[in-house]
Amino acid sequence: MTAPVALITGGARRIGAATARHLHNVGWRVIVHYRTSHTEADDLVAELNQQRAESALAIAADLTSLTDIETLARTASRHWQRLDALINNASSFYPTPVGSVTEQQWDDLIGSNLKAPFFLAQQLAGVLAEFSGAIINIADIHAERPLSEHTVYCIAKAGNVMLTKSLARELAPRVRVNGVAPGAIMWPEDAAELTPSAKAAIVDKIALKRAGVADDIARTIEFLLLHAPYVTGQILAVDGGRTLSN
């Protein structure tokens, strides 16, 4: 019951699930947040609890709703009476060409990428301080290098970067706050969004000439949580050198 606890938003799939498994493997208890991925969340939690009883929990919440955010924070902090890490991983991502953007798209992209990380941090700052915890925000290399036809997403991630730095200053010295900016880690699930030739063009611009994998992000999160006690307010790019090219 002394094992540290991490809340991972969007933790049922992709990078979130890889992070949950990785932290669980190094002895953490994990709270897996999801919005609609009920089956994936339940399967992941069952898998982890089979490995170590009472070590994983799933909680549903809509991160565009402040009421849901507050309920998620309250439930997460009370379940094991501690919280050592908040990992703001949940993110909506899709194109929003200027001229076609709707208010719903704006609310969704800003809500998941910026609003929820801020209000979760605000709600959980006290318990994180009690346990000298940390916040990890998943940013994006496109917070600084805008991606064509993804203006709203890039705005949200740019805000996420400043949120990381501002929280690091305000929540110090008891809570460290850092960000991870992935490059080409996992391709979009919509196969029509990137053709094979488009993927090849992206990889060609990466110094290491390959895409990354979800565990690259999970291992970086572990580093920031467990092996970097004097690091705060930093955004660590995990992009294979993509940002070295024009």
Catalytic residue numbers, as ranges: 153
DSSP letters along 178-215, please? EEEEE-SSS--S-GGGS-HHHHHHHHHTSTTSS---HH
- The structure tokens listed for 195 are 């053709």
Q: Report the alpha-carbon distance of residue 9 to residue 99 in Å, rounded.
A: 31
Return the half-sphere exposure (C-beta side, CA atoms, 13 A cut-off) of residue 58: 23
